[in-house]
Structure 1
């Protein structure tokens, strides 16, 4: 299975894995699965760190790249095609997080299952989006 971690799941995977759900931990440990982290997540972490909205315990945003690679995670770029087609993702009135919406769209467009605790995505995922938590 191809898994794309949302930003929170990624941070927990590298900083505090016990906060992941048992299903998410099991999927990340399964050697048959491919686990990826999107450039969108690195951008979100860098932006929130710069704005003072996020403090990483013992890590800086650049260090997260090495942490992801050390875990064996793939780094997924954000290609212009999926980015330009983002407007096609149905808008849920309660879901305004642009980062999670872009990650959901990227997962959907590129055939990944999104690993996310985002309640708006787990309760009512867009058609075709697979969410694991």
Structure 2
């Protein structure tokens, strides 16, 4: 299985998994699966931490080390992701979520999310 974690799923995983369903924990911890996180999620965490909307999770390097520990791969933003983003309908206004959706479409990944807005797009969802 190839999945892209929505930002809040990554945050809940970093927080110790208590908010995650057992099925999502099993997906993330199964190293036969390919688990991805968008660089946009890291950017969102940094922004929200800097304005005190999220607790401090350590430096960006600490977050990258956490991702490496669990073999979670980082997806950078490509021109193809941005081109797809331009074509998405505006069912959802969150720019980070819209970028994650476009990355999932381009990279053919399912998205692990609890956000109901994702269902309005042509993307496979793994429900939290």
Q: TM-score, normalised by structure 1?
A: 0.86
What is the aligned partner in structure 2 of residue 119 from structure 1?
Answer: 116
What is the aligned partner in structure 1 of residue 86 from structure 2?
Answer: 87
What is the aligned partner in structure 2 of residue 109 from structure 1?
Answer: 106
**Equivalence map 1:1-133=2 (5 Å):** 1-56=1-56, 59-92=58-91, 95-121=92-118, 124-127=119-122, 129-133=123-127
Structure 1: which 5+ runs fail to align?
none
The farther-off stretch of 102-111 and 16-25 is 16-25
Structure 2: which 5+ runs fail to align?
none
Q: Equivalents in 2 of 1:80, 1:107: separation in Å?
A: 14
List structure 1 runs of 4+ shifted beyond 4 angstroms.
Answer: none
Tell me by how many angstroms 1:5 deviates. Answer: 0.6
Deviation track 1:67-115 (CA, whole Å, cap 9, x = no partner) reads 11111111111112211331111211xx211111111111111111101
